[in-house]
Amino acid sequence: MPGITGIIVKNAVGDEETKLSLMLNSMLHEEFYSYGTYIHRENGFFIGYSSIKESFSDCMPIFNEDKSLVLFLTGECYLDNQKIDQLRHLGHSFNQSNAEIIIHLYEEDEGFFQNLNGWYNGIILDLKKQRAILFNDRYGIRRIYYYENQQAFFFSSEAKSLLKILPSLRALDPKSVGEYLAYDCVLENRTFFSDIFLLPSGSTWNFEHRKVEKKRYFDSSELENQTIASKDDFLEELSDVFIQILPRYFTGKKVGLSLTGGLDTRMILAGKKLSPGELPCYTYAGSYRETLDERIAPRVARACGQTHEILRLDDNKFLSEYPSHVEKSIYISDGLQNVEKADGLYFSKLSRQIAPIRLTGIYGSQVLKGVSGLQERLPYSQLINPDFNQNINSALETYSSVSKINDLSLMLFNEISFWWNGFISTQSSQVAVRSPYLDNDFIKVLYKFPWRDFDFASKFQLDFIRRNNHQLMSFPTTGSYGGNYSPVISGMINQFLKFLIVTDKIYIRERLPYFDSLTHWVGRLDSFFSPLQADKLIMGFTDFRRYRIWYRDQLSQYLREVLLSKRTYDRPYWNKLYLEKVVNDHIDGRGTYLREIRKVFQIEMIHRVLLEDR
């Protein structure tokens, strides 16, 4: 995805410019990127940058008036008009629609980072002070990978930039692989790759006179120690602040809403007064059948006077090209994007054709309802080579340690930083992604009431929609509201929708807690009756992705070629005999081993795409 990369030299060896070129070139995934380099040899600063054309950061390098300060930025920041007016009053001239304003904020107040709002990373070169300041957003959504040795400090928005120029780093860290196998992500600011680490969220690292001072500008305790509000005051303030912040997310050339049938996106529509056709809406779908999102979202969009389009995945075409899709997805995301979500890049390309900015309800259910993805998802123990088990045990201990914090802080600064990051990485290579649910002001209010002491989210969202756009109450949602009917009818619809969600999870996805043996029987029965296509009577209403079945049928040959190969067998993680059983039993319909298959497949693709073949 577009970003920054660079070298801060300690002891010059003379090849820094060549390395910088290689680092930047590995990040140029699309023709619609702007890019370039900036070199200040005297201070040892070698910087590369790229951005989506006409995006917030498409104005690099960014200078102050006397060119003593230089800024490079990835992502977007949202600023109030009051701050903009203050800077103009102080005599600064800038384009407020892009990142030019950021350099003037630093010029007036070097501690301005704590007030930045958005998802971003960047570096400021203070040439007079011979200083560089590397920084990122408070959640670490926009990643900075780094490696340090005696010659230099290397950094990049994409790990592949470092792998490209430093062959010694091309190895997976066993501890990180253990954490992925247990939790589907790597914890504690480490990465898949040995000796490559992440800049901690909310960081400002100062490089001056060949030394680095590692500082954090944000501490969650500031939010955790607020005075607790009453329940009524909390809900009222949360509603008010959501309306206040929404205009920030509608700025820019053209914004499109990725609309679902759920409450998170509907709340966005209810909270913003829109002109007809102002916000083009679209919904992702597949070819299997019409999902609930497809049925509900167009009606919601029309009720708000907005256009709507279904962006459909052609299953047959996509699956015939799946190897290239999954390889590119792994490459762009540095291995973060799940192999089961390789269609994310495909959909993001379609989204860009509608609008270069994608507004979404992502993280709404996480911060309001505590919907967690960071959970223990261990494969069957027989799959793991006994010599590798110590890394699984280490992962469990690590999570036990990091989870002993405030629940909301765990969600924001661990789960969203590490587990959910893969969903953003590939999308950001095509469009600017925005969500109001991580806005600084909104999150600040959330900390004013014990987060999980009561189940407020669905009622709060429905009340918000009812007060701000009652017409949107006419339609049911996917799982928590049955529509504006009589209580009996609405309740029946709601329960039926929940039933569809549960059955789809059992049928389509990997095994669920307490349903371990059931999902195996479902896989066996489905394989036996699949020629009759009886599943279409009730399945597929809530999830258009069908990787359990696709891996069994359309992708079976490809999976066998990859997973049952000598290259995969020789990895130190797997028990070869059990891996053969897992793949063959799943493909032959003797059980459901989606979890085991996707984990082995993910690690193997990281090896091949990022460490070996390229």
Instruction: Write out pLDDT tens, residues 152-182.
Output: 999 999 999 999 999 999 999 999 999 999 9
Do 4-170+187-218 and 226-373+420-478 have matching folds? no
Q: What is the pLDDT of residue 514?
A: 64
Contact 589, 520 (CB under 8 A): no
E strands, 419-460, in order? 432-434
HSE-up of 158 (CA within 13 Å, CB side)?
A: 30
SS3 per-residue string spanning 497-555 = HHHHHHHHHHHHCCCCCCCHHHHHHHHHHHHHHHHHCHHHHCCCCCCCCCHHHHHHCCC
Q: For the structural domain made of 226-373+420-478, what CATH number should be given?
A: 3.40.50.620
What one-character-per-residue DSSP string does 124-152 give? EEETTTTEEEEEE-TT--S--EEEE-SSE
Phi, psi of 214 (to 5 degrees): -95, 110
Round to whole Å and give the CA distance between 133 and 492: 57
Q: What is the pLDDT of residue 451?
A: 66
User: How does pLDDT run across 309-347, given as a tens digit for each residue?
Assistant: 999 999 999 999 999 999 999 999 999 999 999 999 999
Q: What is the pLDDT of residue 452?
A: 61
Round to whole Å and give the CA distance between 568 and 49: 36
User: How does pLDDT run across 358-388, given as a tens digit for each residue?
Assistant: 999 999 999 998 888 889 999 999 999 999 9
User: How does pLDDT run across 192-218, given as a tens digit for each residue?
Assistant: 999 999 999 999 999 998 889 999 999
Segments making up each domain of the chain, as ranges: 4-170+187-218, 226-373+420-478, 485-541+546-614
- Here the tokens at position 525 are 């029965």
Question: Which range has the worst mean pLDDT, 115-129, 539-553, 568-582?
Answer: 539-553
Share of the chain above pLDDT 90, in %: 73
Q: What value does the mean pLDDT of the chain take?
A: 92
**pTM (predicted TM-score):** 0.94
Determine if residue 399 is left, alpha or beta; phi over 0 gives left, psi from -120 to 50 gives alpha, anything else beta. alpha
Q: Which residue has the tokens 């979404």?
A: 360
Q: What architecture is domain 4-170+187-218?
A: 4-Layer Sandwich (3.60)
Round to whole Å and give the CA distance between 362 and 472: 20
pLDDT at 433 over 90: yes
Contact 453, 230 (CB under 8 A): no
Round to whole Å and give the CA distance between 49 and 58: 10
- Within 10 A of 116 (CB to CB), how many other CB atoms are there? 21
Nearest residue to 346 (alpha-carbon basis) of 320, 316, 311 = 311
With a CB cutoff of 8 Å and minimum separation 6, the contacts of 514 are: none
Round to whole Å and give the CA distance between 414 and 395: 14
